[in-house]
Structure 1
Amino acid sequence: MEIHCPACKKKYTLPRGAKTGPAAHLPCPACGNPIPLQQETAPPRFMSKEKLIQEAGALPPMPEILIRAKNIVDSPYSDIRDLAQILEKDQAMTTRLLKLANSAYYGLRHPVDSAHKACLVLGEQTLLQMITLVSTSRLFSNSLDGYDLEAATVFSHVLFVALASREICRLRFKDLEKSAFAAGLLHDAGMLILDQHIRKNKQAYQKLRADGMPQHLAEKKLFGYDHGEIGHDFCLNWNVPPEQALAIHWHHEPDQSQTPLAHVLYVADMLAWQDPDRLPSEDIAGSSMDMINLSDEELEVIRCDVWQDVAQIAADILIS
């Protein structure tokens, strides 16, 4: 067993036969300070990330319609008619898209009654975001029992983060606006994979949370990785752009990332869970406040407006 001195940081091998326990200690040969003989060790990973993701068999692959829609929007050789054609072949998707397009959130002056009209009125990028939104609502269609979260709560949260992230980027990082929406919708995808393992370790997880440990740190304590890291790998499997996946990985620890998108997701996530009676800057890390360069007043406006948007979309359209 390896031991280390908490004073001078030197490491030693515990002598054979030495007694260990809460009160046991040895004097450090270098500095003389006591070295405790019952030291915490990092919990071993109960399985590799790869195996964990493989065993999450209930998770759907990226919807074929979303793959084709992304390819059409990204291709210089496709036009709006190609997008309308693939939508018309998926009646369930078209029905939900038309309901969303005609909702109060989009506020169209004249209702649209076909995929072709929706494409013409809303445009490719808006339609792609709507397809992503509907696909994500299907992804988060079940409760997360390990985390004690209902499906409606989970989806409302990811929708808030997506809309708030997009608004922050509209104000400060215009080139990240489209990426922010998609990354926000998928930022908690790792929870879908970890949930069954949280259920199996629920007592230990709940104790860590009751002791005040944040969710992502409790996950790391139990498994060796958090839902952001798992979500990163899942999103790469969904062919999510690497910059978005990287931001998802570090959305709880954005200083570890080199992308401002991680700070945007973190700020939006904090706004979603924060007590509305508190100022955003009271809970959001200073480095992220500096990065997004928005005042408390601006963030409070975003928080209020986005929750109203979430209510229109989630309650009336996507959550049955």
Structure 2
Amino acid sequence: MKEKLLNLLESKGDLPPLSDVLINLEGRINNPETDIQDISDLIKTEPVLSGRLIKLSNSVLFGGGRDEVLDLNSAIMRLGLKMVLDLAYTLELPKAFKKPKSFSHMDFWKHSLGVAYLSRALVLHGGGSKEELEASYLSGLMHDVGILVFDYLIPDEYEVFIKNSTSAEKGLEELELEAFGISHPELGARFVEKWWPVSKQVVSSIRRHHGPLSVSTTSSGISRYINCANQIANNNEIRNGVSSYISPP
């Protein structure tokens, strides 16, 4: 089964691409010669995204209650370019995959969003590097993408697997390895690495987010923060939908 999955992944077929607006936004934000108007013009091609960013910029979380933001340029200035990109991913990524067959789409993205925010907070307050802080939100948002890839490539088999995997003695990753020869962290990392233009840090954090639970400096890279955030979310019943069937060890 592992070989079949990797062959499907290699050929891509109808695997979901990132939206054009995300790819172009990533490129422009990472280009030092890009100005605010360039970013604004691109985002305006997606009216829903534009409206959501303006609304978010007026929320209490981002300083709402001061002067009201009414236009996209002002929203971008208030949010900052990196936050604009993170929020764009938050709004666009759930559209990339069809609703999963075997678990709750809403629960999955609630969990992913929770881990994204927690990861950023842990890096910020745990003494992480600037590079880790910049990658933390997207790493948390994407950490379980391999589950979606499983459901996308082999929906019937994965549905049966979830319904038959009710052991509380083993975690999802171990059960996937036994059933398919590959786990969702590895499958997700391979998919993102090959087909989505994200940083190596994000890919590594996806691959290793079920590593040792520690935020010590002896742990490797940003994955230590993602793992802690994942555990905090699970312990507070903010689970990814799959863990409704499979209890983590």
Query: Shared fold by TM > 0.5?
Result: yes
Answering whether residue 192 of structure 2 is matched by residue 235 of structure 1, we say yes
TM-superposed deviation, 1:128: 1.6
Q: What does 1:158-307 align with in structure 2 at a 5 Å threshold?
A: 158-171=112-125, 172-175=127-130, 176-196=132-152, 197=154, 199-210=156-167, 212-236=169-193, 237-254=195-212, 259-275=220-236
2:48 counterpart residue number: 92
TM-score (norm 1): 0.64
Counting matched residue pairs gives 230
1:228–1:251 contact (8 Å) kept in structure 2:
yes
Change (3 A) 1:135 1:275: closer
The structure carrying a bigger helix percent of its residues is: 2
Structure 1 runs of 4+ with >4 Å offset: 52-56
1:209–1:215 contact (8 Å) kept in structure 2:
no
2:151–2:158 contact (8 Å) kept in structure 1:
no
Structure 2 residue runs of 5 or longer lacking an equivalent are 238-247
1:3 counterpart residue number: none
| Inter-partner Cα distance in structure 2 for 1:61 and 1:126 | 22
How high is the sequence identity, in percent, across the aligned residues? 23
Change (3 A) 1:115 1:258: same
Structure 1 residue runs of 5 or longer lacking an equivalent are 1-43, 277-283, 286-320
Match of 1:120 among 77, 83, 86: 77
RMSD (Å), alpha carbons: 2.7
TM-superposed deviation, 1:263: 1.2
1:37 counterpart residue number: none
| Inter-partner Cα distance in structure 2 for 1:140 and 1:250 | 22
| Inter-partner Cα distance in structure 1 for 2:16 and 2:69 | 30
1:243–1:259 contact (8 Å) kept in structure 2:
no
Change (3 A) 1:252 1:56: farther
Q: Which has the larger radius of gyration?
A: 1
| Inter-partner Cα distance in structure 2 for 1:201 and 1:74 | 37
Q: Deviation per CA, 1:259-315, whole angstroms, max 9, x where unpaired?
A: 321111111111111157xxxxxxx99xxxxxxxxxxxxxxxxxxxxxxxxxxxxxx
1:183–1:248 contact (8 Å) kept in structure 2:
yes
Q: Deviation per CA, 1:41-72, whole angstroms, max 9, x where unpaired?
A: xxx63614131464672x43112212222222
TM-superposed deviation, 1:116: 1.4
| Inter-partner Cα distance in structure 2 for 1:238 and 1:90 | 20
TM-score (norm 2): 0.81
Change (3 A) 1:233 1:103: same
Q: Which structure has the higher relative contact order (CA within 8 Å, separation 6+)?
A: 2
1:170–1:177 contact (8 Å) kept in structure 2:
yes
